[in-house]
Amino acid sequence: MKWFFHIGRYYIMMSRVFSKPEKWSIYRKQFVKEIDNLGLGSLGIVVIISIFMGAVITIQSAFGFESPWIPLYAVGVASRDSIVLEFSPTIVSLILAGKVGSSIASEIGTMRVTEQIDALEIMGINSKAYLILPKIAAAVFINPFLIVISMFLALLGGLTAGLMTGAVTSYEFIYGIQYDFRPFNVTYALIKTLFFAFIITSVSAYHGYYTQGGALEVGKSSTNAVVYSSIVILLFNFILTQILLS
Amino acid sequence: MIEVKNICKSFNGKTVLKDINILFEKGKTNLIIGESGSGKTVLMKTMVGLFTADSGEVIYEGKNFNKLDFEDRKDIRKEIGMLFQGGALFDSLTVEENVMFPLSMFTNMTLAEQRDRADFCLTRVNLQTAHKLYPAEISGGMKKRVAIARAISMNPKYLFCDEPNSGLDPKTSILIDNLISELTTELNITTIVITHDMNSVMEIGDNISFLYKGEINWQGHRNEVMRTNSVELNNFVYASEFMKKLKQSLTHYGD
């Protein structure tokens, strides 16, 4: 029953989030600020994780394909598909759910317990829209760029690791990346990214917005934001994959 | 003028406010006093729509706030300035930006005009040197003054203050009290102050309502507080040894 309560309250919150802003110019400023906070602020972790995960995927693929019957370029094919289909859109989104989600929930939660949200409401401002809409818009806009960067860097990391360990030559790896390439796989990854960006920001904002209590509860909201946005991402990963790839 | 009629409010079956009726007059400092947990803040939050009353009416100049839709409530809320217990300043904005915030949201003022207005409001609360500081960099008393400056920036008709001198030293408390009282007369607004500070009660209380266990126990002027027959109010007013001795000496000298 508690699930129904949360889903209902989330739906009501979202209907207020997508109502007409009081002043577009203020929301535009917030949007730009959030792109910096949520997008550019996450670039560092995306770069590091993508390079190392790409490297590991390539080494693992090479280890698994140690057979005279399997051509070496298969390492490139396997790495590409793993990175484009799953690693970059899903795993990076899960990591962003940890970084961005906890930040959103704790920011909004702190505003709630220090009565800053009440202050917004009393001024006549739709606090849900003012605080949450720019975050959702910014994440939905910037996350696809982050994921494309992640794909590129993961493949670069894979190539570098392949060369450094001697597991695969650059010619075979690059040939493998190009072999039987399906552009729709990138579209599929980006569609998933859009959904995941929406889930991360809205679910985390929900947990922050309805924080009750003090500092301890802000911490709990932050943890719940990461846990629930990760679960919803995994659920939607399954649903979207079934819809788009089956 | 704000009229509260038959307001009742409960949380999870526990009654917090029982049939509250108060008239808050324009141009006067209206005080709501009472012990901690007596329902003062709940009453204020119900009046501004942060809580929904179970029954009863809150009437702003003839308009029943509870029956208005979101947009009409917004119009009334733009006429409300509120000072929260902790200030509720926006952490990510400077002092000046905090005061400019409602102006940037609801007016078509240019940036220069907004700055001028913010400067005027900050000067009015005797805070001329903190414009570029963030809330974390200023003291509690300064935060309250910034919050007052923000509350008056839109020329409100109604000013709500939730324990404006909690956590402040006596000198700063008096300063804040005087400021609230001066602004009320100067701007001819309806001011409602929640407090359990007896200094404030005796300094600025034009109309006082004493809440006891969620009910109005006593109403009157500050000059009548000391002579009340209400046992509960007497217990509240003369809780400290100092006040008890003061009462004894007043009785001894026949006032």
Of A119, A124, A125, the CB nearest to B88: A119
Cβ <8 Å between A23 and B105: yes
For an interface test with B, the pick among A110, A122, A128 (most B C-beta atoms closer than 10 Å) comes out as A122
pLDDT score at B98: 95
Here the ipTM equals 0.85
Q: What strand order describes the sheet that includes B158-162?
A: B80-83, B158-162, B190-195, B29-34, B207-212, B215-220
Cβ <8 Å between A121 and B50: yes
Cα gap A174→A65, rounded to integer Å: 17
Per-residue pLDDT tens over the stretch B4-18: 999 999 998 899 999
Please count the other Cβ atoms lying within 10 Å of the Cβ belonging to residue B50: 16
Cβ <8 Å between A23 and B86: no
Cβ <8 Å between B75 and A124: yes
Under DSSP, the state recorded for A20 is P
Q: Which residues fall within 8 angstroms of residue A62, CB to CB, at 6 or more apart?
A: A75, A162, A165, A167, A168
Q: What is the pTM of this model?
A: 0.88
Of A23, A110, A122, the CB nearest to B77: A122
From chain A, pick out residues whose CB is under 8 angstroms from the CB of B154.
123
If one counts the domains in chain A, the total is 1
Cβ <8 Å between B104 and A115: no
Q: Mean pLDDT, to the nearest integer, of A217-223? A: 96
Q: Mean pLDDT, to the nearest integer, of A206-225? A: 95
Of B49, B89, B105, the CB nearest to A26: B105
Of B77, B88, B154, the CB nearest to A115: B88
Distance from CA of A84 to the nearest CA of B (A): 38
Instruction: Name the pLDDT band for B103 (thresholds 50, 70, 90).
Output: very high
Average model confidence (pLDDT) across chain A: 94
Average model confidence (pLDDT) across chain B: 88
pLDDT score at B200: 80
Per-residue pLDDT tens over the stretch B183-203: 899 889 999 999 888 888 888
A212: Cα separation from own chain's centroid: 27
For an interface test with B, the pick among A20, A106, A115 (most B C-beta atoms closer than 10 Å) comes out as A115
* Secondary element (H or E) of residue B143: helix B140-152
For an interface test with A, the pick among B74, B75, B93, B105 (most A C-beta atoms closer than 10 Å) comes out as B105
Cα gap A47→A40, rounded to integer Å: 11
In Å, what is the CA distance from B241 to each residue of B157, B169, B234? 39, 20, 13
CB < 8 Å & 24+ apart, contacts of B4-8 = B4/B43, B4/B47, B4/B56, B4/B57, B4/B58, B4/B59, B5/B56, B5/B57, B5/B58, B5/B59, B6/B55, B6/B56, B6/B57, B7/B43, B7/B46, B7/B53, B7/B55, B7/B56, B7/B57, B7/B58, B8/B53, B8/B54, B8/B55, B8/B56
Of B73, B74, B88, the CB nearest to A118: B88
User: Does the structure show a pLDDT above 90 at A157?
Assistant: yes
User: Does the structure show a pLDDT above 70 at B253?
Assistant: no
User: Does the structure show a pLDDT above 90 at A133?
Assistant: yes
Of B80, B86, B105, the CB nearest to A115: B86
pLDDT score at B69: 85
Where in chain B are all domains bearing CATH 3.40.50.300?
1-79+157-171+180-255
User: Does the structure show a pLDDT above 80 at B116?
Assistant: yes
Please count the other Cβ atoms lying within 10 Å of the Cβ belonging to residue B169: 12
User: Does the structure show a pLDDT above 70 at B215?
Assistant: yes
State which residues form the domain around A169.
Answer: 2-245
From chain A, pick out residues whose CB is under 8 angstroms from the CB of B85.
115
Cα gap B83→B162, rounded to integer Å: 6
Structure token pair of residue A195: 């959904």
Instruction: Name the pLDDT band for A177 (thresholds 50, 70, 90).
Output: very high
Instruction: Name the pLDDT band for B60 (thresholds 50, 70, 90).
Output: very high
Cβ <8 Å between B82 and A122: yes
Of B80, B91, B105, the CB nearest to A125: B105
pLDDT score at B252: 67
User: Does the structure show a pLDDT above 70 at A34?
Assistant: yes
User: Does the structure show a pLDDT above 90 at A49?
Assistant: yes
Distance from CA of A205 to the nearest CA of B (A): 17
DSSP string, A23-69: -HHHHHHHHHHHIIIIIGGGHHHHHHHHHHHHHHHHHHHHHHT-STT
Domain B1-79+157-171+180-255: what homologous superfamily?
Answer: P-loop containing nucleotide triphosphate hydrolases (3.40.50.300)
List beta partners, residue B3.
B23, B59
Structure token pair of residue B23: 């008239």
Per-residue pLDDT tens over the stretch A84-132: 999 999 999 999 999 999 999 999 999 999 999 999 999 889 999 999 9
Cβ <8 Å between B104 and A26: yes
Per-residue pLDDT tens over the stretch B146-175: 999 999 899 899 999 998 888 788 888 888
Portion of chain B with pLDDT greater than 90, in percent: 50
B69: Cα separation from own chain's centroid: 25
Cα gap A119→A188, rounded to integer Å: 42
Under DSSP, the state recorded for B137 is G
The pair phi, psi for residue A125, each rounded to 5°, is -95, 140
Q: Mean pLDDT, to the nearest integer, of A201-229? A: 96
Distance from CA of B198 to the nearest CA of A (A): 25
**Type of residue found at A138:** A
What is the four-CA torsion angle of B160, B161, B162, B163, rounded to 10 degrees? Answer: -160
Per-residue pLDDT tens over the stretch B228-237: 888 888 888 8
User: Does the structure show a pLDDT above 90 at A70?
Assistant: no
Nearest CA in chain B to A130: B105
Cβ <8 Å between B74 and A26: no
Residues A17 and A10: beta-carbon distance below 8 Å? no
* Closest to B172 (Cα-Cα) out of B180, B184, B162: B180
pLDDT score at B254: 57
From chain B, pick out residues whose CB is under 8 angstroms from the CB of A129.
none
